[in-house]
Structure formats: structure tokens, C-alpha cells
Amino acid sequence: MAPEMNSPDKLSPQLFRYPPSQKPELLNPLVLAYVGDAVYEMFIRQYVISMPSQRPNHLHRTATRYVSAKAQSRALQALLPLLTEEETNIVKRGRNAKSGSTAKNADVLEYRHSTAFETLIGYLYYKQAYERLNYIMQASLEPEKIAALTASQPEAGAASNQPGGTDTGMEKIQAGVSGGTKASESAPDRQAPSDANKL
């Protein structure tokens, strides 16, 4: 009898057994971004494969909507009000890292914010903060909705977004991300609040 496939909430965090050579706090932010890029890419690929259309070209085009520098920058801007001080510091390190390369289809600021987003993903992955990592990645799927909900919920701040928090504003934000319309159906003209000056 074939082994039963694990459900998503039962996946082993020890899928890959090569921990980093240093504590996550000590790793170069570009190293964190390097692994964060791979983790986020895998998350997005699984997300698009969960959709009804399985045509490879459609999968690629859909995934690109999320993994581009522009999309990751937009997601980070929407998520900024929800980040803890520790996470914000990691984002700043990622944004300020000198990579020596630029994205082909993004401006410098978008590219830096994209790197900062990937740095945060890599950091949370190596910290084994899987619940928080999943929340951030799920939220990144609909940045317009996150921006709208955080704007309407001033009490839903960084202090209440930790696992085990009880803030009702945070619960509304999480419900808004997991339930409701698809990203393509959410308000296309709504821009995330400009928090570039916070970084």
C-alpha cells in the first residue's frame, strides 16, 4: 500500500536537512534572500498548481505575477505595518545590501524592496518560524486587500501579529486574506500605502 501523502499542515519542517553554517541573525542578508527566493518560489508554484488550470504556460504566467520584483515590492509595502521590530530590521538589512546586480524589469527601489522581501522569507525559514512564514507568504498573495484592511484597522499593528495574538483587527486581516476574492478579482487600482520612507 502506497504511503499516504501528508496534508499541508502536517508537512515536516525537516524536509531539507542542511542547516545554515551560522545563526540566521549572522547570515549575510543576500544569503537570506538567496534561500528566501527559493522558498517563496516553491510556495508560489504550489499555490498555482492548486488552481484548476494545469497548463504549463498558464502556471508560469500566473507564478510570474507573484515572484517578480515588482510584485514582491508591492507585497512588502502592504505588509510593512504588520511586521515586528525584528522583522523590520531584517527587511532594512535586505534593502540596504549591495548585490551588484539589478532586475531587468524593475526599477532600483523595486529591486531593493524585492530583495528585502526575500531576505525576510529566508530569515523566517531559517529561524524555523513556520507559522509566521506561512502567514507572511499567504498575505503576500493579496497585498491590495492587506493594505485596505490595515488602513481600516489602525489597532491591527505589529504587536498583535504574532502567533497566539488575540487582536480582532488581525483576525479580520487574516480572514480577508484566506477567504474572499482571488487576487485577480480584488481592487486592481488600489495601491498599497507608501511606506518606503519607513525603510
Residue 43 in any domain: the answer is yes
For residue 132, what pLDDT is reported?
96
Residue 3 in any domain: the answer is no
Residue 158 in any domain: the answer is yes
Residue 160 in any domain: the answer is yes
For residue 24, what pLDDT is reported?
94
Residue 99 in any domain: the answer is yes
For residue 12, what pLDDT is reported?
53
- Chain centroid to CA 163: 16
CATH number of the domain residue 82 falls in: 1.10.1520.10
Residue 139 in any domain: the answer is yes
Q: Clarify whether 37 is annotated catalytic.
A: yes
Rounded to whole angstroms, the Cα distance separating 83 from 162 reads 9
Residue 11 in any domain: the answer is no
For residue 14, what pLDDT is reported?
58
**pTM beyond 0.75:** no
Rounded to whole angstroms, the Cα distance separating 183 from 141 reads 7
What range does the domain containing 52 cover?
A: 23-198
Catalytic entry in 37, 167, 189, 195 = 37
pLDDT mean by block of 10 residues, the chain; 199 residues:
46 70 95 96 94 84 91 94 96 90 76 96 96 95 81 52 40 46 36 43
Length of the chain: 199
Q: What is the domain count for the chain?
A: 1
Residue 36 in any domain: the answer is yes
